[in-house]
A and B are shown apart, each in its own frame.
Chain A
């Protein structure tokens, strides 16, 4: 799974959470670009991504992310061993 594929799968989650945001969803997207992206929405996003990819983020992992691309890269790293094990 590539970073772009992960962003593609996160996009509908973002569109659900941030229904008023109509701009592009790219690796460069940050919370500052989206008015509805507050601290509660951030927690909701993390949980929805965890559920969608069947992973769990560690306490320190999500606090250091600066944009969507880094989140996607983290998902790729965490989902990789699982995908490898199941194939």
Chain B
């Protein structure tokens, strides 16, 4: 089994790795929390090239973190239920250990061996508590053996029955656990491939496994499950090593325990994407990362890039990868120690370059420290350094950035440009869910943000600035089309989130038809870009008091009067419905200080405070009190009909 290529992007451990982890563990055992610096260091230590023994230590540390009253800065919890027709206990520990490298404190809850159907159909007791996700990992044993090998006519209906069975299980788990189902594709063990003809033989298990995987992928594309491509990962590792028949017969483990670390890491990369923690920016060094040679020394004519030389083609592949990520909503940033004019020259004039100046959202070429430049780019894009991946061939630069910005993601690249892309992909930092229009349009939105900041600087009067943006705010009730993005927004908004109430996708779906609530999705456009869905609000409408139970907004549209406009529209609707008061709540967390004074700023009066920073506010809905918003407001027809039967 070859795990090495899947681990080579990780930086090696320092000599005192175990000592550092022990000291963090002792601190937690003594009842102390981790400060921001220690939390950043822990994330970095956890992302290093660890062995099985180190992962046992990380798992114990993860358990200690879960016992803290609040996650350390930069971390969040994720409660995962493991469901399989095989023994997955070993993976629980690997997943909890692997999560730390991605800022996740995962609590992996095991279920009984082969309790899949009982759990999904309600015959077994539902594991207690709230889950953020359910991993459904079925192995090839789920596919029936012994089907008629010649019955081509009956194959389609037999396969339809298998898919229906799978869907009953996936849907049952989602409904019972009220959490998204992470569906693993099914890897085929070598023993299933009796002959190459198996792919063409009706009823052969190998053929059915391939078809089942296509079915899982189709379900994922339609938003029914989140797909985890375990079959693809097994192929990368090599099926001969991935499957361990001795361990299977002894302990019913679905794959070799040695692969547990890599499988767990890929799974946590997916969970990071589900929780909005995947990287959003690719920062690229230039010399010897995007082309061979040093442009300031060798000149544009002297750099190595393009068809005709193996090395030049390898660098082109890196550029191709960057462009492909950009198509998927990742912003590109150039980060080079160079004179700006010299650094820009190849993008302007070299005929073989695929990357051009316009592909970069931010272009920083100067002689400042790279960590300083990355922090600068983060400020320009309104993103946290944890959203940045740096590709840089220079180990010294990588080390400086990791030390100064412990949450920035900096994979090892090795010596040979031919390996750069594979290592970057293996890191899983750009893992993502099936794409939405919001994702693919995101790069334009980043660009717009940088442009808008420049415009803001040139326009003194803020009101005039807002007016110049020509914003259009579209408000609509929750619907099936917006569902996935609503869920994503609710999951990943920590700052503009006064109650930090996380709704699962099934709960969100239920609100689409719930007469006892007003649930709005809000989109924003301006003259620069379509920002997509930027806010969601859930208001419980019992009787003549409406309570804002949940409200999230993307921080990239702060300071634009959006929150006041939303409350204005809610006020209008509440007044029409004869509502006596609108109630707002604030529940403090370490991340949501931004909205501590949200309701007072919006004209609410304080009703009560709870002594722990939380408060309750009220507003009498009076249409006369609504100020003119700095934007055009479009309300979908059914969003204006009062959902409550308060009339």
Chain A residues near B (Cβ < 8 Å): 12-13, 16-17, 19, 39-40, 43-44, 47-48, 51, 56-59, 62-63
Q: In B39-95, which residues have CB < 8 Å from any A CB?
A: 52-53, 56-57, 60, 89-90
23 contacts between A and B (CB under 8 A): A12-B53, A16-B56, A16-B57, A17-B56, A19-B56, A19-B60, A40-B89, A40-B90, A40-B251, A43-B247, A43-B251, A43-B253, A47-B52, A47-B247, A47-B256, A47-B257, A47-B258, A48-B52, A58-B246, A59-B246, A59-B249, A62-B250, A63-B250
**Cα separation A43 to B56 with both chains bound (whole Å):** 14
* Residues on the B chain within 8 Å of A40, using CB: 89-90, 251
Looking at the assembled complex, report how far the CB atom of A40 sits from the nearest CB atom of chain B, in whole angstroms.
5
Chain B residues near A (Cβ < 8 Å): 52-53, 56-57, 60, 89-90, 246-247, 249-251, 253, 256-258
* Residues on the A chain within 8 Å of B57, using CB: 16
Q: How many A-B residue pairs have CB under 8 A?
A: 39
* Residues on the B chain within 8 Å of A59, using CB: 246, 249-250
* Residues on the A chain within 8 Å of B90, using CB: 40, 43-44
* Residues on the A chain within 8 Å of B257, using CB: 43-44, 47
Q: Is the CB of B246 within 8 A of A56?
A: yes
**Cα separation A23 to B296 with both chains bound (whole Å):** 64
* Residues on the A chain within 8 Å of B56, using CB: 16-17, 19
SS of A interface (majority): helix
**Cα separation A18 to B247 with both chains bound (whole Å):** 21
With contact pairs A44-B90, A44-B257 given, residues A13 and B250 touching in the complex (Cβ less than 8 Å): no
Residue among A47, A48, A58 with most chain B CB within 10 A: A47
- Closest chain B residue to A19 by CB distance? B60
- Closest chain A residue to B53 by CB distance? A16
Q: Is the CB of B246 within 8 A of A13?
A: no
**Cα separation A53 to B350 with both chains bound (whole Å):** 53
Instruction: Known pairs A16-B52, A19-B56, A58-B246; list 10 more (Cβ under 8 Å).
Output: A12-B53, A40-B89, A40-B90, A40-B251, A43-B247, A43-B253, A44-B90, A47-B52, A47-B257, A47-B258
**Cα separation A17 to B90 with both chains bound (whole Å):** 12
**Cα separation A48 to B52 with both chains bound (whole Å):** 7
* Residues on the B chain within 8 Å of A16, using CB: 52-53, 56-57
With contact pairs A43-B247, A43-B253, A63-B250 given, residues A51 and B60 touching in the complex (Cβ less than 8 Å): no
**Cα separation A63 to B499 with both chains bound (whole Å):** 54
* Residues on the A chain within 8 Å of B256, using CB: 47
Q: Is the CB of A13 within 8 A of B53?
A: yes
**Cα separation A16 to B250 with both chains bound (whole Å):** 23
**Cα separation A57 to B246 with both chains bound (whole Å):** 8
Q: Is the CB of A43 within 8 A of B60?
A: no
**Cα separation A40 to B88 with both chains bound (whole Å):** 10
- Closest chain A residue to B249 by CB distance? A59
What are the 9 tightest A-B residue pairs by CB atom distance, in nearest-first order? A16-B53, A47-B257, A40-B89, A43-B251, A59-B246, A16-B56, A48-B52, A59-B249, A40-B90
* Residues on the B chain within 8 Å of A43, using CB: 90, 247, 250-251, 253, 257
* Residues on the A chain within 8 Å of B89, using CB: 40
* Residues on the A chain within 8 Å of B250, using CB: 43, 59, 62-63
Looking at the assembled complex, report how far the CB atom of B21 sits from the nearest CB atom of chain A, in whole angstroms.
12
Q: Is the CB of B60 within 8 A of A48?
A: no
* Residues on the B chain within 8 Å of A13, using CB: 53
Looking at the assembled complex, report how far the CB atom of A35 sits from the nearest CB atom of chain B, in whole angstroms.
15
Q: Is the CB of B53 within 8 A of A48?
A: yes
Looking at the assembled complex, report how far the CB atom of B238 sits from the nearest CB atom of chain A, in whole angstroms.
16
Looking at the assembled complex, report how far the CB atom of B92 sits from the nearest CB atom of chain A, in whole angstroms.
9
- Closest chain B residue to A56 by CB distance? B246
- Closest chain A residue to B55 by CB distance? A16
* Residues on the B chain within 8 Å of A62, using CB: 250
**Cα separation A40 to B94 with both chains bound (whole Å):** 13
Name the one of A12, A17, A39 contacting B251, with C-beta atoms under 8 angstroms.
A39
* Residues on the A chain within 8 Å of B246, using CB: 56-59
Looking at the assembled complex, report how far the CB atom of A58 sits from the nearest CB atom of chain B, in whole angstroms.
7
* Residues on the A chain within 8 Å of B251, using CB: 39-40, 43
**Cα separation A24 to B267 with both chains bound (whole Å):** 38
* Residues on the B chain within 8 Å of A17, using CB: 56
Name the one of A51, A57, A63 contacting B52, with C-beta atoms under 8 angstroms.
A51
Looking at the assembled complex, report how far the CB atom of A44 sits from the nearest CB atom of chain B, in whole angstroms.
6
Q: Is the CB of A51 within 8 A of B253?
A: no
**Cα separation A8 to B56 with both chains bound (whole Å):** 20
Looking at the assembled complex, report how far the CB atom of A60 sits from the nearest CB atom of chain B, in whole angstroms.
10
**Cα separation A57 to B250 with both chains bound (whole Å):** 11
